[in-house]
Chains A and B, each alone.
Chain A
Amino acid sequence: MEEQDLKITKLSFIQRPIPIPADYRPMYKIALIVLILRICCRAETSSLLKLHLFSWALTSDDNLTKLREYVTSNFQSDFSVWGIEPALNRALQFSIAENICEVANGKNYKLTEKGNRFYEMIDADNELFSKEKTFLKFIGKSKITDKRLTAMSNQWTINYDEN
């Protein structure tokens, strides 16, 4: 190569779109919120913490197995902390703005009528989110109650204090 060829006078960079995990797609998270509220929550109403628990469980197979084992072992297996992701909070804000769910009693999230119609639409397609549906239906409305959830999160304080 001639020396001339190497005389670079200008370098420019173009920012390309980056791939992001589906967990950061609004549509995926909103659909997940709708599925959780409808399948796993009494009166289609849930606390923020519960939404985070299921959303976290569905982010990876490892998490999913962990939660499933915790439930099938009658809440005896080791299970302490789950993740809280800002992405879910943003998806919740979108859902409220779209009138998919609403805030009930100032702290809980409740599926609206539109949200329910949205659920029917997702439910009509058997292939769509089949893994999510199977898992959430396995959990159902009664396996993880608010009381259980409080007990689980109290565990955090204990663990934290001990450390």
Chain B
Amino acid sequence: MMKIRALKIEVNTTSGLFGAEYNFSNGLNIIRGDNSTGKSSLFQSIIYGLGFEELLGGKNEKTMQSALKDQVEFPRNTLHTITQSFIYLEIENNEIITIKRSVASSTRKSQLIDVFEGPLLTGDNQALESRQMWVHDSGSASDELYGFHLFLTEFLGYNLPEVVTAKGDLHKIYLQQIAPAFIVEQKTGWSDFFATMPYFGMRNTEQRVVEFLLKLDVFENEKRKQQINSAKQVINLKWQNLYNKFQNLAERCGGKILGLESSPSIINSYGGIYISLIKDDKPITIEDLNRILKEELSILDSKQIATVGSNLNQNESLLNKLNDKLNQVSLNYELLSPELNFDKEKLKQYKKQLVGVQDDLRKNKGALKVSKLGGDLPTEIAKNICPTCEQELKDSLLPSDIMQIPMRIEDNISYLDSQEKMISVYIDGQQNIINEKEKQLKDYQSIALELRQQIRDIKRELIQDERLPSIVEIEKRIDLKRKVEFFNKVIEGFYPLIDDLKNLSAAYSLILNRESNLPKDFFSTLDRQKLSTLKDNFIQLLRIFNYQSKPFDAIRISQDTYLPVAQKTDAEQFYNIKFDSSASDFIRCIWAYTTALLQTSITYNANHPGILVFDEPKQQDMSKESFRSFLIELSKFSTQQVLLFASFENSDASFAEATQGLTFSINKIDELLIRPIDND
């Protein structure tokens, strides 16, 4: 639980040292100061010390009031020019540290923060170890060594959740984004829930903050979903690999793999996956083919090898047949080959066209962006008006006597977009055609090679002694044997791959199961309890604060945004409670919601830092009774810390009336916050 123990402001001026020092305790701390005494400066100094000044709407010293960076006024109407100023903030969370940060300094950047390991303000030891860190630098939330907010996150024992950014990647939520849930600033803080939350291009940060503060399991579910997704990607990759292996194997023996998809699926029967080959123009599985070849081989083996003479007639007619076949194949090859070159040339053209379109698209998008930039751009032209003669321009630099109307630039962009898509499709198709033809050419080549070999063998045999054994037949046997051995090897390699596939398919089905087991309704039972407690606390507080605008049974906590919503009279829908509440009742809502978040977090031992800071919560002519009831509720937090900055209408009487009988600590700013300090 975070506590702010003490704050010290140190201001060097041309007229000497000025400053202020305040200590804070557990429970309710009221910081009372009349208007324009410097109450806001004190509040802002705390925010600034924590590096949360984005809540004030900016970064670094710009957000601070002039009393801390330009001129000190003391006594009233006497100004002293500031030469240097520092803020010291002592905070506690199990350990105590002291933060030192400059507001005005000629030598130190305001992004620089010194962290002292101990109580520099309330302790006696002034010689504490210190480390320098940076805030609001790109490294401040992530750099291990020097990021102050990373340090503060660890100091608070937080493991901040990751959220999806507008770009779609994950980023940890920033500490400054959580702060508006427990620090309500005076100027904009009372205009809406989490009104001062800085925007870092992340989605639904408000919800993530509430989920984090209440430690909702929704987070876990969200995380599990992401884990499953990444496991799925791994399987996808492995599947791709395996698929390629199958394909390589099939290609090695000139066939293709059938019954297997290139993306993961659950496979029930593995019999349907096989390598398909072609025999006599008909498809056949590798195993059937191998069996046929084996039979042929065994028949041949059992026969005696014929002599050359006995095969003479047969060989002559075979030679003719083979020659015919070879001619046909060669012709096919020669026809296909120029076709392929033509296709390749076409592909080159398409690619060139694509580059051209992409470049034009890029330029067009640039031009559109420029005309939307606003500010100092050539405004008349952006509006399509000629800056000289005020005639309408057609958004083109073509000569005006060309009677063509150019497309509007937006249309032109979508036109180019579709062109790009179309050309991409052409390119893909063309690439497929080329691959197909290349494979065909290769097939022709290997067939031709085989035919030529056979022809050579027959010719050799025809001129040999008729009594010798037939080479063709011997050659045929050797060839058959080789083929059978080769197919055997392929089949041997095939089964281990099937085993891999079985494992992968099982893993895939497991992941799908896990995915379907994810709760459709992302809330766990505990989540529901927490949200219902939040709602009860919220409504209970509204009742105490005398909220009037809506009946309490029409108020809910939204399951999507976790913000209070109210039901319209005579309608089903729920709306943001702001729309139906009077101005002062909406202030009551912010009181109640901020307080209820802390109460709920305490009940479930969740992540709320256990501190509330309110700057001038008595807004909008709030009734004294309501304000007193708010103070009563806040004074009930005895082990947490509440800092409440208020003016009590600059009146002792109304202060006494509001706080009578309550337990609290008081810090009163007398006349002016920053006053002279005796220099020792």
Contacts and interface: CB of A to CB of B under 8 A. Distances in A.
A27 B382 contact: yes
Contact of B366 (A88, A91, A128): A128
Given A25-B367, A28-B367, A18 B376 contact: no
Given A19-B416, A28-B363, A98 B381 contact: yes
Contacts of A61: 355, 359
A25 B364 contact: yes
A117 B408 CA distance: 27
Given A94-B378, A131-B362, A87 B397 contact: yes
5 contacts: A15-B405, A16-B405, A22-B360, A22-B363, A121-B377
A97 B387 contact: yes
B406 interface: yes
Given A18-B406, A61-B359, A28 B366 contact: yes
A69 interface: no
A30 interface: yes
Interface string A10-44: 00000111111111111111110000000000000
A118 to B, nearest CB: 5
B76 interface: no
Contacts of A29: 397
Interface residues of B, number: 41
Contacts of A91: 397
B463 interface: no
A26 B405 contact: no
Interface stretch (B52-60, B136-144, B388-396, B570-578): B388-396
B660 interface: no
B363 to A, nearest CB: 3
Contacts of A18: 404-407
B375 A17 contact: no
B145 interface: no
A46 interface: no
Contacts of B388: 93, 97
Interface bin, chain A: 35 or more
Contact of A118 (B360, B364, B378, B404): B378
Given A28-B367, A117-B376, A128-B369, A17 B405 contact: yes
B134 to A, nearest CB: 23
Interface in A92-126: 93-95, 97-98, 100, 114, 117-118, 121-122, 125
B415 to A, nearest CB: 5
Interface in B309-361: 355-356, 359-360
A117 B396 CA distance: 24
A86 B388 CA distance: 18
Q: Is chain B's binding surface mostly helix, strand, loop or mixed?
A: helix
Nearest to B359: A61
B272 interface: no
Interface in A124-141: 125, 128-129, 131-132
B396 A27 contact: no
Given A17-B411, A20-B407, A131-B362, A26 B387 contact: no
B677 interface: no
A132 to B, nearest CB: 8
B414 to A, nearest CB: 10
Contacts of B408: 17
Contact of A20 (B373, B381, B382, B412): B412
B515 interface: no
A98 B411 CA distance: 26
A143 interface: no
Contacts of A21: 360, 363
Contact of A26 (B359, B376, B381, B399): B381
A128 B364 CA distance: 11
A135 B408 CA distance: 28
Given A19-B415, A22-B363, A25-B396, A95 B378 contact: yes
